[in-house]
Structure 1
């Protein structure tokens, strides 16, 4: 089973930069996107053989997620439930007989950390939501989780400590999620190799010099770790300031 996750940073713009070519080449069973920055219907996206599920932000041109799948799910849920309203279109959950697939676009704490308290509340709500799902069946979580978990997950860790996406608080929330029973598929398969990133600033030559952060993930319930066949990053694929990430599982 082949699955892709990609923060496209505006799907309409990404389509103009080769999204459909990559989509066709991957021929994935599941293709999750974050930061669509559009409302469903603003783009005529023809994906033959795929069902489309969208969660749009109330605010136009902001946030948003979508999932494109070959197999129709048993159920679809948007958001984290009534306890934590999601008017920013950040979560879609698809239920299948063997597992749940969740795509997530975690809120950014902002450069001045003005949204850090909201971000931390989101983290607690998301962890509770995911753990409740896991009581029923295993979970596959993907998306832009907006955190570099360990120093090896970004180029300049010392200079960035305390910055948005690398605060101690955000990193601790990721640790808590992993300790709750989830496995970082990329680290599971690739160990402590550094230099692997999924996001680069638009500043001149930053991507060419690979000065980046790994903030996009496929996390899986621990019981599915042995099913992982491939966990890879595709930095050569452009079209966004993020690159796609691949997870292949044996079932």
Structure 2
């Protein structure tokens, strides 16, 4: 039996976090250092916003190699016709884990979603680890139907992986599946991330053979852990008091194949102090 520790984080721009000089950049770097101190076996990052600028990418990699020595790194950027410097994902893993098969899945999603760098999958001998930055339905649910097509294709993709070996799927899924997963469900009903369709699609994903690891460990926990730490994984930057008021959403997940759900020992957000936006999420399990 081997113990594993995985971390997933929507960083909202690697360049801003690692090379910026603002107060927010300092807060972001503190989170990076905190994650590094955890020494995860796998770290998945979403919304990297990297482009094809080789000099900038090299600078980012140099910093990451310093922060995460003995890790391998792969990343994926948005490519034409998708917008430059948009979306993007990255994965780091301990080199001692070996050389996984790395794929950059395209799932026949509505254009140009497959070109927005939204997914990376690592295939290890005993399992898959895959990360996703799910498209947002956008203000006024302008992209809801396209988001629904993505959800269907993504679910089919995970099911295909699951037929071969256990799956650990993480990322920013851009949906709070139940009322318990956000602080103001009534006020946000049928807004992006809490529409009936998005919630139904996510529930369909769970019903297709996957477990929400946080709910598996914590059950129907309300609002906060006993320690005072919030259950939420995202706090709006535009509302400066969102975190102090615990006005957040749980939209970042570690999902696991049902058959390995009993192996999970920990699943929870990692506290980020005064930094708003997404919190990293931690998963620990034995396999």
- Using structure 2 for the length normalisation, give the TM-score: 0.83
Give the count of matched residue pairs. 250
Distance of 1:205 and 1:35 partners within structure 2:
23
CA deviations over 1:189-237 (Å, ceiling 9, x no partner):
0000122100011112111111000000000000001110111111335
Superposition map of 1:102-121 within 5 A: 102-121=130-149
SS of equivalent to 1:220: strand
Number of the residue aligned with 1:91: 119
Whether contact under 8 Å (1:141, 1:220) holds in the other structure is: yes
Cα offset, 1:48, TM superposition: 1.3
CA deviations over 1:8-34 (Å, ceiling 9, x no partner):
011122224324312321110000000
Whether contact under 8 Å (1:14, 1:240) holds in the other structure is: no
Number of the residue aligned with 1:204: 240
Whether contact under 8 Å (2:135, 2:174) holds in the other structure is: yes
SS of equivalent to 2:140: coil
Distance of 1:235 and 1:160 partners within structure 2:
24
SS of equivalent to 1:223: helix
CA deviations over 1:103-153 (Å, ceiling 9, x no partner):
000000001211111100000000000001111111100000000000000
Q: Which runs of 5+ in 2 are unaligned?
A: 19-24, 224-230
Whether contact under 8 Å (1:237, 1:243) holds in the other structure is: no
Pairwise CA RMSD of aligned residues?
1.5
Distance 1:141 1:80, change over 3 A: same
Superposition map of 1:146-161 within 5 A: 146-161=174-189
Distance of 1:135 and 1:190 partners within structure 2:
27
Whether contact under 8 Å (1:232, 1:245) holds in the other structure is: yes
Matching residue within 42, 55, 62 for 2:86: 62
Number of the residue aligned with 2:228: none
Cα offset, 1:168, TM superposition: 0.3
Distance of 2:274 and 2:87 partners within structure 1:
19
Matching residue within 161, 164, 167 for 1:136: 164
Distance 1:101 1:240, change over 3 A: farther
Q: Which runs of 5+ in 1 are unaligned?
A: none
Whether contact under 8 Å (1:51, 1:72) holds in the other structure is: no
Matching residue within 59, 74, 77 for 1:53: 74
SS of equivalent to 2:278: coil
Q: Answer with 1 or 2: which has the greater Rg.
A: 2
Matching residue within 48, 53, 74 for 2:100: 74
Distance of 2:201 and 2:165 partners within structure 1:
22
Number of the residue aligned with 2:33: 21
Distance 1:39 1:23, change over 3 A: farther
- Using structure 1 for the length normalisation, give the TM-score: 0.95
Number of the residue aligned with 1:227: 263
Number of the residue aligned with 1:8: 11
Distance of 1:48 and 1:227 partners within structure 2:
28
